[in-house]
């Protein structure tokens, strides 16, 4: 069943549903010259960004803003506070599937690990060196910079390199 909620900051103007649809609500608008215009309720058209995410344009009295639909759902249904530590993840990796059942809030680190397409590792920061390779690579991201830690013969050795780099970050604030 589709459930609708007012979009925070746009209450009475726009709503978002659990299926990822956004609608503009019926309202009467007084124009600058004093004329009155009726604004009909309608489902907004989605726009596809270059990165594949769906967006809509929301207007208030002074400006237009482009909003990512998955972010709107997270803020309005999960009470998500936008920031870099926790992110909205599409469970099935389909950026166009913004159904509430396909979204989850995870850490940025978990999201980076999940997004490694060739990764078949159970460890964060570890992935196959190449698609059909038997070697493993390790990488860690700190302060938005990715550090390559090396290629290893075993998955566990790649994981150990990651753990060591993580400990160095915790102790010294760097990967060295």
Token output for 105: 């809030």
* pLDDT in the model for residue 49: 94
Return phi, psi of residue 87, to 5°: -130, 165
Farthest-apart Cα atoms in the chain, separation: 74
Give the lowest-confidence range in 17-21, 119-123, 164-168: 119-123
Q: Which segments of the chain does DSSP mark as H helices, in order?
A: 69-77, 108-115, 155-172
Query: DSSP assignment, residue 93?
Result: S
Model pTM?
A: 0.66
Domains and their CATH numbers in the chain:
4-107 (3.90.75.20), 116-172 (3.30.730)
Q: How far apart are CA 105 and CA 80, in angstroms?
A: 8
């Amino acid at each position: 069943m589709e459930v609708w909620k007012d979009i925070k900051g746009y209450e009475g103007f726009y709503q978002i549903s659990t299926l990822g649809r956004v609608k503009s609500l019926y309202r009467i608008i007084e124009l600058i010259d004093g004329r009155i215009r009726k604004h009909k309720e309608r489902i907004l058209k989605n726009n596809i960004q270059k990165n594949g995410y769906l967006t809509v344009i929301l207007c208030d009295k002074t400006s237009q803003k482009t909003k990512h639909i998955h972010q709107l759902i997270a803020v309005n249904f999960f009470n998500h506070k936008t920031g870099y530590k926790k992110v909205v993840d599409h469970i099935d990796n389909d950026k166009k599937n913004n159904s509430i059942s396909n979204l989850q809030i995870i850490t940025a680190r978990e999201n980076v690990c999940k997004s490694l397409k060739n990764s078949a590792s159970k460890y964060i920061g570890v992935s196959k060196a190449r698609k059909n390779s038997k070697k493993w690579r390790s990488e860690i991201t700190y302060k938005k910079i990715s550090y390559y830690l090396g290629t290893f013969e075993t998955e566990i050795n790649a994981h150990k390199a990651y753990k060591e780099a993580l400990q160095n970050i915790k102790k010294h604030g760097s990967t060295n």
